[in-house]
Structure 1
Amino acid sequence: MLKNHSIQIRDPFIFPNQLDGKYYLYGSTDKNIWRKGTGFDVYIGTDLENWEGPFPVFRANDSFYSEENFWAPEVHEYRGKYYMFATFLRKDNQRRGTAILCSERLIGPFEPHSIGPITPKEWDSLDGTLYVDKEGQPWMIFCHEWVEVADGEICAVKLSDNLKEAVADPIILFRASEASWPTAFSHPKRTTKTNYVTDGPFIYQAENGDLMMLWASFVNNVYAQGISRSLTGKITGPWLHDEIPIYKNDGGHGMIFQTFNGNLMLTLHSPNKSPNERPKFIKIIESKGRITVLDNELNNQEK
């Protein structure tokens, strides 16, 4: 068994499987995610603290369209199968993009489903997530990277019913600078002096029907997690941004899930520097569309 403090992982994503009463923890699991990609693993546990694994769920063969930057896998159940949304650096043009893999089982193996990344080929994009609206239309929500556009964007694109391709052009939901809490930074390798990051969008439907989005950026060069909400209840917005991040202790790329005991949890990775990143599980409550952090970095989640 492994404890959370022993698991190096970025971009943690939990799939609570009601069928076997176990949590499946996915994430960026390569020891050096900035270099050659190996694949993705899963950890399996019952209490969010003790884990079996890692078990390999995806390994790329020589014909795969990427061999570098295997990032941020999310696994969603859709029409009886499991779909992994994950980011890869393309071989053909060295641009990052999110593709979709598929498996009959949570433990894989996951195989390529979309024909390469679904995000625009000439864009630097990452961190795609699935959202299915009230009409049953699937969308991918993703980030158009700051490394290309300086002011990072969060975008949405309609997907085909079989999740194999985009069926429309992406639309910009908002830019990072539109929220009050992220701060700008300069980078020695970029000509732009004012840059803002968008990372890890995740869609959450509140009990009162509010459509909310978690996403990450930086506050004075410290990784942080904030929330935005759609004023119309539609993915197309417009989006209103909470003024204060819910987590600003060098952690982000979060998602919300419900435990088998009915508690709401926020998971994210912290700190943000390799190789020290670890999964954090933080108990929260949600009331009238507002999220409150109750405990920080819980060790015994189900008490």
Structure 2
Amino acid sequence: MRLPDATEPPMRLPDMPLHDPFVVADEPPRTYHLYTSNVPSVSGVDGTGTMVYRSHDLRDWTRPVVVFLTAEQEGIWATDGAWAPEVHAWDGRYYLFTTLHNADRPLPVPPPNQWGVPFRTPTHMRGTVTAVSDSLLGPFTVLDPARPVPPERLMTLDGTLYVDPSGQPWMVYAHEWLQTIDGTMEAVRLAPDLSGTVGDPVYLFKASDAPWTAEQIPAGVPHQLPPYITDGPQLYRTPDGSLLMLWSTYEKNTAGQDGTISGGYVQTYAVSRSGDIQGPWRQHRPLVRDDSGHGMLFRTFDGQLMMILHRPFENARGKLYEMELRGHELEVLRRRDDLDGGG
């Protein structure tokens, strides 16, 4: 794998391809690690996988290092995707969560009306895998190469780690709208080594629970069943003990000439006031629109709560926002265009 050249000039966010960004603030060296899917033209390494940029100030970044490649995982069930990489510290090691898919392994097509789907939709294997390393810089080795962590009969993506107050790890993931039409967020308990699951998944909420989506549907297309999409969950404990979930979806505010409904990607959030992963979950209005989303929260080394997300959805770049929690309410304080270059 290619190592960065210390003599190379730093990179800045406007020049860094960045889809589904995830930041780990590593305290002892005061280094931010910014993970995203591998882009060979930037990393210099061919293949599907994960790369990481590094910075001390969120402004100047090293050229990325590749930390995971599907081609290096013996017997792995899928080699495409590597979407939404996240790295979490757990039990003294680092665990990569990333979504793979294999279009050559179709899933059984459910009969009409199963999961609320009124027609038959072809799907294929898609889900999050976990991989382990002793270093934030990898290399990461997949724990179970035979299957994704969520039930393989489900088409899922964007799995993230949540640890409940008892110390039980969970994977929270999005259940694809391709199976459900109205995409859902679900959670499943993980084994202690994060290699598999314990018990059945738990339903959390569906995308159409966000009331602002129904407010947007244009007049004149009352007969279309619009798909509702869930993407990019991240869990965050608030000071008042509530549990907050960032998630993304698409707006429903544009009617196409062919009768379809569309809209831009949007960053929103939900709150479980009980503090329990099983809710009930209350939906809040979007934080950032403008084709922005898949955000996550982290704190700077000075203690400032930040959100990073990508915009636009295609050819995405990272955008940074200072955030504030007021009880269980999350607010954008200001955009840090001095760090992300604007746009």
TM-score normalised by structure 2 residue count: 0.80
**1:15 is paired with a residue of what secondary structure?**
strand
- Contact 2:189 / 2:198 at 8 angstroms: preserved in 1? yes
Instruction: Give the distance between the partners of 2:290 and 2:247, measured in 1 at CA.
Output: 15
- Contact 2:320 / 2:339 at 8 angstroms: preserved in 1? no
Instruction: Give the distance between the partners of 1:125 and 1:30, measured in 2 at CA.
Output: 23
Asked if 1:296 is matched to 2:335, the reply is yes
Aligned residues: 290
Q: Deviations over 1:159-207 (max 9, x none)?
A: 111111111111110000111123588xxxxxx8321010000001111
Runs (4+) off by over 6 Å: none
In the other structure, the counterpart of 2:97 is 85
In the TM superposition, residue 28 of structure 1 has moved relative to its aligned partner by 2.4
Question: Structure 1: 5+ residue runs without aligned partners?
Answer: 186-191
In the other structure, the counterpart of 2:5 is none
Q: 1:108 to 1:226 in 2, by over 3 A?
A: same
In the TM superposition, residue 231 of structure 1 has moved relative to its aligned partner by 3.0
Q: Deviations over 1:82-131 (max 9, x none)?
A: 00111000354432101101100000000111343111112110000000
Alignment of 1:58-73 (within 5 A): 58-61=68-71, 63-73=75-85
Kindly indicate which of the two structures has a greater share of residues assigned to strand.
1
In the other structure, the counterpart of 2:136 is 106
Q: Deviations over 1:219-263 (max 9, x none)?
A: 131111111111321001111111x20111211001100000110
**1:170 is paired with a residue of what secondary structure?**
strand
Instruction: Give the distance between the partners of 1:51 and 1:64, measured in 2 at CA.
Output: 32
In the other structure, the counterpart of 2:164 is 133
In the other structure, the counterpart of 1:189 is none
Which has the higher Rg, Structure 1 or Structure 2? 2
In the other structure, the counterpart of 2:54 is 44
Out of 210, 214, 239, the position equivalent to 1:179 is: 210
Question: Structure 2: 5+ residue runs without aligned partners?
Answer: 1-9, 107-123, 218-223, 254-262
Identity in percent: 38
Asked if 1:193 is matched to 2:204, the reply is no
Instruction: Give the distance between the partners of 1:113 and 1:50, measured in 2 at CA.
Output: 33
Instruction: Give the distance between the partners of 2:339 and 2:51, measured in 1 at CA.
Output: 24
In the other structure, the counterpart of 1:228 is 270
- Contact 1:254 / 1:269 at 8 angstroms: preserved in 2? yes
**2:178 is paired with a residue of what secondary structure?**
helix
Alignment of 1:1-303 (within 5 A): 1-30=10-39, 38-61=48-71, 63-90=75-102, 92-93=105-106, 94-115=124-145, 116-182=147-213, 193-219=225-251, 220=253, 221-242=263-284, 244-273=285-314, 275=315, 277-300=316-339
**2:157 is paired with a residue of what secondary structure?**
strand
Q: Note the aligned Cα RMSD (angstroms).
A: 2.0
**2:82 is paired with a residue of what secondary structure?**
strand
Kindly indicate which of the two structures has a greater share of residues assigned to helix.
2
**2:334 is paired with a residue of what secondary structure?**
coil
- Contact 2:97 / 2:160 at 8 angstroms: preserved in 1? yes
